[in-house]
Amino acid sequence: MAHRIFVLNGPNLNLLGTREPSVYGAKTLADIEASCHEAAKRLGLAVAFRQSNQEGVLVDWIQEAGRDAAGIVINPGAYTHTSVALRDAIAAGGKPVIEVHLSNIYAREPFRHHSYVSPVAAGVICGLGATGYVLALEALSSMMAA
C-alpha cells in the first residue's frame, strides 16, 4: 500500500498567488497541491494536502499523522517562529517531518531566523519556492525506501 504523507500548511498560505508575490511567488496553494499530487503519483505516495490558519487545528493534524501517516511535509508559516505547541506535537508524533519554506527565511528579517520546528524535523528546505514541497516528498520517499 502507498505510504500516506500529510502535507500541512499554516497561516496565510491560503493567500498564495496574491500574498507578497515578490517574496512567495505567483503560484497559488492549489498549484502547489497539484504539484504535490503529481509528485506523489510518480513516487507511489498518497498525499493528504491541508491548510489551516489555526494553530490548534495544525496540532490536531500532526497528532493524526502520528497515528495514520508515514511522514509529514509542513510549512508552518509564521507559527515556525512562535509555536512550542507545533514543536511538541511533532516531537510526540515520532514520524519523519520535513519543514518547508517557500522563501529563504535566513535572508529575511531576524525574527524569521529562528524555527521552533527545525530541531525536531528530519530536514529543512527553504528558499526554493514551490519546488521545495516536491523535494520534501522525494526526501520522504527515499527515507521510506531505505
**3 state SS of 114:** coil
Closer by beta carbon to ligand DQA, 51 or else 103: 103
Smallest distance, Å, CB 146 to ligand DQA? 27
Which one of 3, 79, 101, 133 is the catalytic residue?
Answer: 101
- Quick one: how many helices (H) and strands (E) in the chain? 5, 5
Interface ranges with ligand DQA (CB under 6 A): 12, 75, 77-78, 80, 101-103, 105, 112
Smallest distance, Å, CB 39 to ligand DQA? 18
Q: Are 11 and 78 in contact (CB under 8 A)?
A: yes
24 is known as an active-site residue: yes
Closer by beta carbon to ligand DQA, 4 or else 50: 50
Closer by beta carbon to ligand DQA, 29 or else 65: 29
106 is known as an active-site residue: no
C-alpha cell, 25: 511567488
Which one of 24, 79, 116, 133 is the catalytic residue?
Answer: 24
Smallest distance, Å, CB 12 to ligand DQA? 5
Any bridge partners for residue 100, and if so which? 125
Closer by beta carbon to ligand DQA, 78 or else 135: 78
User: What is the DSSP-derived secondary structure letter of residue 77?
Assistant: G
Q: Which residues contact 125 (CB under 8 A, 6 or more apart)?
A: 98, 99, 100, 101, 132, 135, 136, 139
C-alpha cell, 10: 499554516
**Catalytic residue numbers, as ranges:** 24, 101
